[in-house]
Amino acid sequence: MWANPHTIIQITGSFLGVATTVGTPGYAPIEQMRGQAFPASDLYSLGVTCIRLLTRCLPKADGYDELYDGLKGCWNWRERLPQSQSITPHLGKVLDKLIQDYVKERYQSTDEILKDYSNDVLPESNIELEIFPFSLVGTWSGKSTTRYHIFVTLCIIKHDGNSFYGNLNVRDVGLGCTYRIKINGKINPKTSEVIIREDEVYSEHWWWKWQKGVSEVKISADGNKIFGKRSTSAESDDFCLIRIDHEQMLNSLLEAGKWKDADRVTGTLMLKISCREQENYLNSDSINRFPCQDISKINDIWLKYSNGRFGFTVQRQIWLKLDRDWIKVGDRLGWRVDNRWKQYSELSFSIDAPEGAFPTFWGGEGRKLIFGYSGVWEDFFSRIRACEL
């Protein structure tokens, strides 16, 4: 429905020059039902049609409408969205403005909608990256230091309205290069300067850092795809855009019974997802913001290959049964011996390890272990509860 909202609005705009005075109950605004019609009246009907398609809630034969709260005089369509249906916050604001009761509070034309919507979402278009290689860093083999152009065709706008990806037609993207983005031939002020963050390869991807306007971008190792996310606030750099494919990696290791490697990978992935690789540990804030979908995936994989013996939810159940006494939990999980916390190298990495022993998720020599940090575990188990695992 909203893969390309511009198309819907433009088509609708072709017949909104003069508003219709006949309205359909459940779709028409109040003024239209009383014989008064404006261009904004038809836009109201468009908005109502959209929320009905999104929620799949139609007015009843007796006139009852579960989407409209008559006491408060407002639409409560968000509460009726199916769990599988997600929309961007900006699209939600656009829909809300379309279905305002008062005419003056709505959009007055399709041009207004397009202008407002385009300010936040990249339209399907060609993106041109102008590349300026630095003379001291990242030389281009066999090429001069003049500017090069890479043309990216934007294929899709993801659910949050800020993420995008496209296909590159050039393979040799160099390190240490500054980039300037043009959309439809014009430099986009929101994405003006770009620089590659590092050349370390994670799995099959290079990670990039966009200095202005974009938080994180990656390009596949074969140079065929570029991924990015535009910043929406000053805090956006605190989050990583791309989720590592931990499911495939953990599945392979655990299926092969490589418990120690799987534990290390789990710790690495959690640090990457939280953008805490440099710090090498998770703090209370990063735990409280850790994505539920990632906790769930990691937990499910451990449960699957350990026949329910290992996983975050198993650890939480033990923690609750032992009255949240972290010393007792450490003893039960095999993390303590002779009244002291074990070193990581002392742990027994096998299916016969005590129930709940893994993942340690801080595991690995040289990392800051959290075995004795009961406050951090309380934060983590609270996060698991908040994620309804």
Mean pLDDT, the chain, whole residue set: 65
Residue whose tokens read 């261009």: 39
Quote the pLDDT of residue 23: 64
Quote the pLDDT of residue 319: 92
Residue 98: which CATH number?
Answer: 1.10.510.10
Together in a domain, 181 and 234: yes
Quote the pLDDT of residue 322: 93
Threshold 0.85, pTM exceeds? no
Count of structural domains, the chain:
3
Positions of E strands within 115-183: 126-133, 148-157, 163-168, 177-183
Together in a domain, 138 and 225: yes
Considering only CA atoms, which of 290, 339, 295, 345 is closest in space to residue 316? 295
Together in a domain, 84 and 139: no
Quote the pLDDT of residue 66: 87
Pairwise CA distance, residues 88 & 78, whole Å: 12
Range in 1-5, 135-139, 161-165, 299-303 with the lowest mean pLDDT: 135-139
User: Which has the higher per-residue pLDDT, 159 or 51?
Assistant: 51
Last residue of a domain, one of 188, 203, 238: 238
Domain that holds residue 253: 246-386
Query: If pLDDT is split at 50, 70 and 90, which confidence band does 281 have?
Result: confident
User: Which tens digits make up the pLDDT trace of 337-386?
Assistant: 888 888 888 888 999 999 999 998 654 444 444 444 556 778 888 889 88
User: Which tens digits make up the pLDDT trace of 49-87?
Assistant: 988 888 888 888 888 888 888 887 888 888 888 877 777
Last residue of a domain, one of 118, 149, 182: 118
Together in a domain, 234 and 298: no
Question: Per-residue pLDDT for 136 more than 80?
Answer: no
Which two tokens mark 279? 């710090």
User: Which tens digits make up the pLDDT trace of 216-255?
Assistant: 344 443 333 444 443 333 333 323 333 445 567 778 889 9
Q: What residues contact residue 211 under an 8 Å CB cut-off, 6+ apart?
A: 193, 194, 195
Together in a domain, 9 and 83: yes
